[in-house]
């Protein structure tokens, strides 16, 4: 396949918004793989945040990718264009607001050489909206949405000007080299794939509480000990293929398709009233059992790491 | 807490519909824990199916519960009442039809002593519908819905005449002793908790294909490498608690609640036309890449086992 633009080897990465959770996690990943990380953030304490996140993330990264070599150099910048100039890849992790991202991407587009790729971490905005002001080389402006925490979870969702655009294909190839599992969307959509699945589940998780079917804690327990333990292994399409028995998905849809349709009709959209929010908050606080956000994050990350290592050995 | 009926120790379990996938898996679990299993099924080849499933399941069960002692005795029956008479627990795994289950549960209710618990594996029917003809001791007739495969996945959803009914509390206690994670529903609902979550996801998984956003294979990949890997670790409620940063779920709902509501409004219910079914079938066959249903099941079960063992060590 031929690329319309020659993409140079990627040695230096600018992370814009590097003091936030997503930016700091991307930064830790890039540095672990020996890339120069040019970290930028208007927030105070940038260097301390980036360095302490990278130090906390390093044991997990070493377990996942022990052969990645010496960590890359970190530099710190307050100005996006200065961080981006000379970098081969920009990972934009600014606040999730269309005006903020649109202006920042345009600034990066002006500052970076034509062969550099500019990737947005946006979780739900459309590429066409945030790239709208990129007048120089918009074809290399893409979405590369990681799933939190980016240094651990393999998924990166890619959206380009087309699903076979050179920048997207190049991004997929490069991200695979960083241990990621890139998925290229056929067309852009609010929430891409993963956050649409996420919203579908949250809608029902809130609805179950609203309808008095189960407590917040029991909804979460049902997920972790039931469907969640399967979705870490196979996706919904292949699972319903197995649900059809020897006849597979063809048998499933022919015989149980109508029952799915009936169940879809039974799913509700809860109204997120003050009262319902209060019930959800109370239930979450009960389920957290005094564990802090930081403690829960550490629990989550340790368990995700164990799962990723087990999956690697297990299949 | 006091029980209205004295529940004897559970030593003998009748499995009705033991030749099916769910029944055979329950049977393997019960036998591994040293219980006498009284297997019944009108299908031919009952004994062969139950024994071969148990033999295949045994290595995983030994890994999960090495100290469970010598396997229980298996006996085989063609008649439900004969299998159930003298058993302390009945696990009904008949076809998912309300008329079939209603008649069978009534037969079991007549055949079994008042202290025996009668549990239905129904995945989506309501307890009140299937227990409607139990005239003897309906208070001990419950739903105990496992998540496939039952011998591996910990979740069992319990529905009783009330969420604090003695039979349900006793069932939860007993199932915990078999390594299960029972969840008691506050009220009955079509699909209980897990299959409502399942339907929510499948609806969106099919919708993503219908709208041309992603291929069947990429939807599954996004799940396994993204949200699925988190839902095996924490449920949606606690994950959104972490999504709120230091302010937790309170901050999340206050600031991002409106964006969830917008995303819920953007979720569609696809029409499961012949044409869409054909696209899903084609995509699934592509994603299966020539692997048989049996091969995929073995892959799924090996990966679930690795995950359960890792989770046990990891948290």
- Residues of A in Cβ contact (< 8 Å) with B208: 189, 193, 196
Q: Per-residue pLDDT averaged across B9-19, rounded?
A: 97
Q: Please indicate, yes or no, if residue A52 is contained in any of the structural domains.
A: yes
Q: Which of B141, B166, B184 is the last residue of a domain?
A: B184
Distance, in Å, from the CA atom of B306 to the CA atom of A307, rounded to the nearest integer, reads 8
Distance between the two ends of chain B, CA-based, in angstroms? 31
The domain boundary residue, chosen from B118, B149, B184: B184
pLDDT of B242-270, one tens digit each?
999 999 999 999 999 999 999 999 999 99
Q: Where are the alpha helices (DSSP H) in A73-181?
A: 80-84, 98-111, 127-130, 166-177
**Distance in Å, alpha carbon of B281 to nearest chain A alpha carbon:** 6
Query: What are the pLDDT digits (tens) for B295-312?
Result: 999 999 999 999 999 988
- Residues of B numbered 170-199 whose beta carbons fall under 8 angstroms of chain A's beta carbons: which are they? 181, 183-187, 189-199
Residues of B in contact with A244 (CB under 8 A): 293
Nearest to A119, CA basis, from A182, A186, A43, A76: A182
Co-location of B222 and B151 in the same domain: no
B250 within some domain: yes
| B38 lies in the same domain as B153 | yes
Q: Are the beta carbons of A213 and B197 separated by less than 8 Å?
A: no
A48 and A168, same domain (yes or no): yes
Q: Give me the residues paired with residue B84 across strands.
A: none
Rounded to whole angstroms, the Cα distance separating B292 from B294 reads 5
Its pTM stands at: 0.96
Task: Flag whether A31 is in a domain.
Answer: yes
Would residue A6 count as lying in a domain? no
Across the interface, do B183 and A222 touch by the CB < 8 Å criterion?
A: yes
Contacts 24+ apart (CB under 8 A), A4-7: A4/A139, A4/A166, A5/A114, A5/A115, A5/A137, A5/A139, A5/A140, A5/A166, A5/A167, A6/A115, A7/A115, A7/A117, A7/A166, A7/A167, A7/A170
Would you say B200 and B174 are in contact if contact means Cβ atoms under 8 Å apart? no
Do B158 and B205 reside in the same domain of the chain?
no
Beta bridge partners of A119: A91, A142
Give the chain B residue whose CA is nearest to the CA of A308. B229
Q: Are residues B275 and B245 in the same domain?
A: yes
The predicted pLDDT at position A6 comes to: 73
In chain B, whose CA is at the least distance from the CA of A240?
A: B202
**B84-95 tens-digit pLDDT:** 999 999 999 999
How far apart CA B48 and CA B164 sit, in angstroms, is 39
Q: What is the CATH number of the domain that holds A296?
A: 1.10.1040.10
As a 3-state breakdown, chain B gives helix, strand, coil percent values, each rounded to 5, of 55, 10, 35
**Greater model confidence, A313 or B18:** B18
Q: What is the 3-state secondary structure (H, E, C) of B130-164?
A: HCCCCCCCHHHEEEEEECCCCCCCCEEEEECCCCC
Query: CA-nearest residue of chain B to A248?
Result: B293
Give a yes or no: residue B79 inside a domain: yes
CA distances from B230 to A173, A198, A306, B98, B152 (A): 25, 11, 12, 35, 19
Residue B5 has pLDDT above 80, yes or no: no
Biggest CA–CA distance in chain A, Å, is: 60
Q: CA–CA separation, A111 vs A279, rounded Å?
A: 49
Contact B196 A187 (CB under 8 A): no
Chain B residues with beta carbon closer than 8 angstroms to that of A236: 198, 201-202, 205, 219-220, 223
- Whether B261 and B180 share a structural domain: no
Instruction: Indicate the residue of B218, B307, B313 with minimum beta-carbon distance to A183.
Output: B218
Type and span of the H or E element at A14:
strand A12-16
pLDDT on residue B1: 38
Using an 8 Å CB-CB cutoff, list chain A residues near B303.
232-234, 311, 314-315
Among B153, B184, B215, identify where a domain stops: B184
Say how far apart CA B311 and CA B306 lie, in whole Å: 9
Contact B218 A293 (CB under 8 A): no
Same domain, B275 and B155: no
User: What residues of A are in contact with residue B145 (Cβ under 8 Å)?
Assistant: none
Q: Chain B within 8 Å of A263 (Cβ-Cβ)?
A: yes
CA atoms of A76 and A159, how far apart (whole Å)? 28
A-contacting residues in B 218-237 (Cβ below 8 Å): 218-237
| Each residue's pLDDT expressed in tens, for chain A with a length of 315 residues | 344 457 899 999 999 999 999 999 999 999 999 999 999 999 999 999 999 999 999 999 999 999 887 999 999 999 999 999 999 999 999 999 999 999 999 999 999 999 999 999 999 999 999 999 999 999 999 999 999 999 999 999 999 999 999 999 999 999 999 999 999 999 999 999 999 999 999 999 999 999 999 999 999 999 999 999 999 999 999 999 999 999 999 999 999 999 999 999 999 999 999 999 999 999 999 999 999 999 999 999 999 999 999 988 744
A288 → closest Cβ in B147, B200, B238: B238
Same domain, B213 and B179: no
For residues A157 and A194, the answer to whether their CB atoms sit within 8 Å is yes
Whether A126 and A226 share a structural domain: no
Instruction: State whether A42 and A120 are in the same domain.
Output: yes
Residues A164 and A261 in one domain: no
Contact (CB<8Å) A230/B288: no
Predicted confidence at residue A5, as pLDDT, reads: 56
The total domain count for chain B is 2
**Is residue A215 assigned to a domain?**
yes
Same domain, B158 and B257: no
DSSP SS3 for A91: strand
* CATH number of the domain that residue A40 is part of: 3.40.50.720
Cβ-defined contact of A197 to B205 (cutoff 8 Å)? yes
ipTM above 0.90, yes or no: yes
Q: Which of A189, A228, A313 sits opposite B232 (nearest CB)?
A: A228
DSSP per-residue codes, B24-72: HHHHHHHHHTT-EEEEE-SSTTHHHHHHHHHHHHHHHHHHH-TTS-SPP
Token pair recorded at residue B152: 């591996």
Asked if B139 and B161 touch (Cβ cutoff 8 Å), the reply is yes
pLDDT of residue A313: 75
B94 falls within a domain: yes
CA–CA separation, B94 and B24 (whole Å)? 12
Is A7 inside a domain boundary? no
Tell me the longest C-alpha to C-alpha distance in chain B: 60
Integer Cα distance of A22 and A52 in angstroms: 14
pLDDT for A69: 79
Record: contact A281-B315, CB cut-off 8 A: no
Which of A218, A235, A253 is facing B193, going by the closest CB pair?
Answer: A218
Chain A nearest-CA residue for B307:
A307
Look up the domain containing A227 and give its range.
194-314
If DSSP codes are grouped into helix, strand and coil, which group holds residue B76? strand
């Amino acid at each position: 396949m031929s690329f319309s633009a020659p993409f140079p080897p990627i040695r230096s990465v600018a992370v814009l918004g590097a003091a936030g959770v997503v930016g700091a996690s991307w930064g830790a990943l890039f540095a672990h793989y020996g890339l120069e990380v040019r970290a930028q953030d208007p927030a105070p304490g940038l260097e301390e945040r980036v360095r302490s996140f990278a130090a906390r993330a390093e044991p997990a990264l070493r377990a996942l990718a022990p052969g990645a070599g010496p960590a890359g150099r970190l530099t710190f910048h307050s100005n996006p264009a200065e961080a981006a100039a000379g970098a081969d890849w920009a990972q934009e992790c600014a606040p999730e607001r269309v005006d903020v991202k649109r202006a920042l991407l345009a600034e990066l587009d002006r500052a970076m050489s034509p062969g550099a790729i500019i990737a947005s971490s946006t979780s739900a905005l459309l590429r066409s909206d945030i790239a709208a002001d990129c007048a120089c080389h918009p074809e290399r402006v893409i979405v590369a949405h990681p799933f939190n925490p980016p240094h651990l979870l393999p998924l990166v969702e890619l959206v380009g000007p087309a699903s076979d655009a050179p920048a997207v294909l190049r991004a997929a190839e490069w991200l695979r080299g960083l241990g990621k599992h890139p998925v290229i969307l056929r067309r852009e959509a609010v929430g891409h794939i993963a956050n649409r699945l996420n919203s579908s589940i949250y809608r029902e998780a809130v609805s179950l509480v609203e309808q008095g079917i189960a407590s917040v804690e029991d909804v979460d327990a049902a997920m972790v000990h039931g469907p969640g333990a399967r979705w870490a292994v196979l996706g919904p399409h292949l699972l319903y293929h197995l649900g059809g028995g020897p006849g597979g998905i063809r048998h499933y849809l022919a015989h149980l398709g109508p029952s799915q349709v009936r169940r879809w009709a039974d799913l509700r959209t809860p109204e997120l009233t003050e009262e319902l929010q209060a019930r959800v908050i109370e239930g979450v606080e009960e389920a957290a059992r005094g564990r802090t956000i930081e403690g829960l994050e550490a629990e989550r990350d340790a368990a995700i790491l164990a799962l990723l290592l087990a999956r690697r050995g297990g299949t």
